[in-house]
Amino acid sequence: MKTNYEIRYASHPEDAKNYDTNRLRKEYLVEKIFTANEVNMVYTLYDRLVVGGAMPVNEVLTLETIDPLKSDFFLTRREFGTFNVGGAGKITVDGIVFELGYKESLYLGSGDRTVTFESIDAANPAKFYFNSATAHKNCPDKKITKANALLMELGSLEASNHRNINKMLVSQVLETCQLQMGMTELAPGSVWNTMPAHTHSRRMEAYFYFEVPEGNAVCHFMGEPTETRHIWMKGDEAVISPEWSIHSAAATSNYTFIWGMAGENLDYGDQNFFKNTDLK
């Protein structure tokens, strides 16, 4: 197996105004999430969130520590949330096995433990997308499915944003330190997410887009509300959203995305909304 990581530094909104397309993609887009028999991750300096993916095919992969963590185990001072967006797989934590099907999630608390990823069928490998945040204490491990989630149905087909928000690894469902994750599924005929646009200054966010049909793409909008930018994305890619940035998208088809947040606030509704007509 192989573990790859890179570090992304935080940027000031005044600097981001001057980024061209290549610089925007370099700073915020995470293109390499899944590679066969590898663990890929980005260590961001936005609330120290780690964004990554593990794709075991015919090998068992280990969640190895990386140099920026300065710890013997990845989870020594971290909590971890993952969604399986591939075939059936399992995650083993010090001998305890959690089996995850498609769109099922798992929360792991902090501690000096060994974590491995494995696919049930190499012909249909599991794909574990994950976020990890710093943790001040250990919270119990727990598997969460859509049946356990808090469901919010929002929007309408007429407004092109009919969607189901599955709040899964959130404080109302299980105990976490600061990590919050969920999955939003857009209905056929709907393409807009997270409208009206908003920011939340006490936490950052990362979006992972998947179920994007072949030949289609997602246009992710970011930046300050009065100075927006966009990044075109494919399926199985993630984007980092600073606390000062909106995070919204429209695509050439409906799609699904996983959102993950880290920061000092666990209140999902703590948002600063902006009218569509005020965006620039």
Q: pLDDT > 70: what percent of the chain?
A: 100
Q: Which of 29, 100, 28, 114 is nearest to 65 (CA)?
A: 114
CATH number of residue 95's parent domain: 2.60.120.10
Tell me what pLDDT residue 184 has: 98
Tell me what pLDDT residue 270 has: 77
Is 271 a residue whose pLDDT tops 90?
no
pTM of the model: 0.97
Tell me what pLDDT residue 166 has: 98
Is 266 a residue whose pLDDT tops 80?
no
Rounded to whole angstroms, the Cα distance separating 110 from 78 reads 5
Helix (H) or strand (E) holding 16: helix 13-16
What is the average pLDDT score of the chain? Answer: 96
Asked whether the beta carbons of 178 and 162 are under 8 A apart, the reply is no
Residue 259's Cβ-count burial label (10 Å; 0-12, 13-18, 19+) is buried
Tell me what pLDDT residue 254 has: 98
Cis peptide before 196 (omega within 30 of 0): yes
The model's pLDDT over 219-242, given as tens digits with 9 standing for 90+, comes to 999 999 999 999 999 999 999 999
Helix (H) or strand (E) holding 237: strand 237-241
Task: Identify how many contiguous H helices and E strands the chain contains and give both numbers.
Answer: 2, 23
Tell me what pLDDT residue 239 has: 98
Asked whether the beta carbons of 242 and 205 are under 8 A apart, the reply is no
The model's pLDDT over 56-106, given as tens digits with 9 standing for 90+, comes to 999 999 999 999 999 999 999 999 999 999 999 999 999 999 999 999 999
Tell me what pLDDT residue 108 has: 98
Q: Which of 49, 266, 262 is nearest to 170 (CA)?
A: 266
Q: Collapsing DSSP states into helix, strand and coil, what is residue 201?
A: coil
Residue-range definition of the domain harbouring residue 33: 2-278
Count up the domains in the chain and report the number: 1
Pairing outcome for strands 29-30 and 237-241: antiparallel
The model's pLDDT over 16-29, given as tens digits with 9 standing for 90+, comes to 999 999 999 999 99
Angle at 25 between CA 246 and CA 35, to 5 degrees: 110
The model's pLDDT over 154-200, given as tens digits with 9 standing for 90+, comes to 999 999 999 999 999 999 999 999 999 999 999 999 999 998 888 88
Is 247 a residue whose pLDDT tops 80?
yes
Taking residues 132-149, what's their average pLDDT? 98
Tell me what pLDDT residue 173 has: 97
